[in-house]
Structure 1
Amino acid sequence: MSKRRITRKAVVATGVAAVLLPLTAVATAQAAGTQHGAATHTRSAAAAPTASGTPDSALTRINDFYGAYIDAGSEEGGGKLATELRKFYLTKGLQKKLAKWEDKNHADGVLRAQSIPSKWSVTSDGSGAGHTWATVKLTWGGGVVTKIHVQADLATKKISDIK
């Protein structure tokens, strides 16, 4: 055999081994149930967190509002920003309604609480008759969860009711 032919075969064999050996090691580890195999499997199955939206969606606006409002409440001096967020995202009628609710209940009407949650999520409850509805799930310290029902106008994308 020529030296050139041996070299080509060695390169091909090395390339095949470089691909197959790690795959074989992972498959063997997974079959054996070792930590390495489990971790490799979990990493490949888990998707990276994503967030998306569109300014044309009332549901996106609800999510954006709650995210920004909770962030503002978490920051020292965030009261002014929270007020500006209310002016931008909420209808004037809802702002008046919340002011009455807050006077009566001595709590934040947007969150229906006196403190700031650690997490939130927004789930669509459907749309129709010019509105979209969503459930906002707030998670508090200790894992306590509350739900708020929010309505937004499809034409203006502004939040028009919170219950």
Structure 2
Amino acid sequence: MSSNTHARRRPGRRAAVAAGLLLAVGLSVSTQALAQAAVPAPGKAYAKAAAAPRSVSGFNGDPVTRVADFYGAYVDAKDAAEGPDTALAKALRARYLTPAFAKRLALWERANGADGVLRAQNVPVRWTVSEGGNGLEVVVTLTFGGGESPTVRTDLVVELEPVSGDVTDIRTASAG
């Protein structure tokens, strides 16, 4: 007997395997459809994030993490959906800036008519925080614009106090 004859003698087994596969695929698709129906569709801003999982990590005492925490919360406060949260922005400044730098920053803002932390009149759409040249400097890259307007990138150097880790200066990278 050939192997074809063997297969013809057990047609029920093949049918059962095929039916089982169809059932498994069908259940998987229906379960997936139910799960997707239960989760609201992400907005346009999160469409890219849905494609691949993202993560953000950091650790206590790390200058990059500290500055990233500050800038992330500060940008969120300035660009809140219900309007800028000035009280939160002020509290963040009090928490992360040294008192001496906060005074200098207020003078800079009056002279330049811009937010001194962002070095701009508007709020960035993206930001990146990375290590600077030494352990007490962190580079913050702010990206402004998007859509129809041109994208503008600003690199800031954020200097930190060695013991507390508080911000002692913010300057544009080209300023020295």
TM-score for both structures, normalised by structure 1: 0.67
Match of 2:162 in 1: 154
TM-superposed CA distance for 1:109, in Å, is 0.4
Structure 2 gaps of 5+ residues are 1-9, 22-50, 172-176
Q: How many residues align?
A: 126
**Overall identity of the aligned pairs, in %:** 41
Alpha-carbon displacement from aligned partner over 1:100-152 (angstroms, at most 9, x marks no partner): 00010011000011110101001111335xx3x11111111142111111111
Superposed, 1:126-141 pairs within 5 Å as 126-128=133-135, 131=136, 133-141=137-145
Query: Does the 8 Å CA contact 1:58/1:153 hold for their aligned counterparts?
Result: no
- Please list the CA deviations of residues 7-48 of structure 1 after superposition, one character each: whole Å capped at 9, or x if unmatched: xxx8xxx8xxx9xxxxxxxxxxxxxxxxxxxxxxxxxxx963
For residues 124 and 75 of structure 2, the distance between their equivalents in structure 1, rounded to whole angstroms, comes to 7
Unpaired segments ≥5 residues, structure 1: 1-5, 19-45
Q: Pick from 77, 96, 104 the counterpart of residue 103 of structure 2.
A: 96
After superposing the two structures, state which structure 1 stretch, 106-115 or 147-156, moved more: 147-156
User: Do the aligned partners of 2:160 and 2:166 also contact (CA within 8 Å) in 1?
Assistant: yes
Instruction: Specify the alignment match of 2:7 in structure 1.
Output: none
2:129 alignment partner in structure 1: 122
Note the 1:50-129 alignment, pairs <5 A: 50-75=55-80, 76-128=83-135
Which one has more relative contact order, counting CA pairs under 8 Å at least 6 apart? 1
**CA contact under 8 A between 1:58 and 1:154: conserved in structure 2?**
no
**What amino acid sits opposite 2:140 in the alignment?**
V
Q: CA deviation at 1:52?
A: 0.5
